Amino acid sequence: GRRLIRLDPLNNAAVTRVVEFEAPITAMTRLADGGFVVALNGAGVHHIDSGGTPRAKLDQLAGAPLRSVTAIAEDLTRGGVYFTVGSTLHDAEDWVWDLMEGNRAGQLAYWPPNADRAEVLLDRLAYPNGREVEEGGASLLFTQSWNHSLARYRLAGGPGPRSFEVVIDNM
């Protein structure tokens, strides 16, 4: 949906609306400081504080409209977020078109806190999803839906140079 809500387990699971957006949420992560980074279908990535106040917005990636963000995770070491874009060609709700066209139009990117630009780390991915920063922050794991694989991207500053490898193929 379009609403980010908070459940209070200490108050009979009371529901509180944090913020309502102009488009459906496609991915989100809670930050260590209590804020959130939320991706909206066809409407970029938004950094909001714990009360729902906007802090920053990212509308474009590599000069193109930012759409179809599938996963977000905070990098506790660098302080920004990593996110995956399923497709640069289709909004999240049109994922089936991307699948049927056999596209490799996904991306892995990093957004420093409140910066006006993000860095594309990998391009031409087969609809990346479900991404996780590995313990110690030296690499990221993520899936690629269209080729059914689990991949690892080693980050600069970790052991060895930045690199990409398929960990499990054809899952």
Point out the least confidently predicted range of 40-49, 86-95, 146-155, 157-166. 157-166
pLDDT, position 82: 94
**Angle formed at CA 21 by CA 20 and CA 23, multiple of 5 degrees:** 135
CA distance 146 to 53: 36
pLDDT grade for 152, boundaries at 50, 70 and 90: very high
Is 42 in contact with 72 (CB distance < 8 Å)?
A: no
The residues near 124 (Cβ < 8 Å, ≥ 6 apart) are 104, 105, 106
Does residue 160 register a pLDDT over 70? no
pLDDT grade for 114, boundaries at 50, 70 and 90: confident
Token reading at 63:
């000069």
CA distance 149 to 171: 6
User: What pLDDT, in 10s, does the model give residues 7-32?
Assistant: 777 777 778 778 888 899 999 999 99
52 in the Ramachandran plot: left (φ > 0), alpha (ψ -120 to 50) or beta? left
Does residue 95 register a pLDDT over 80? yes
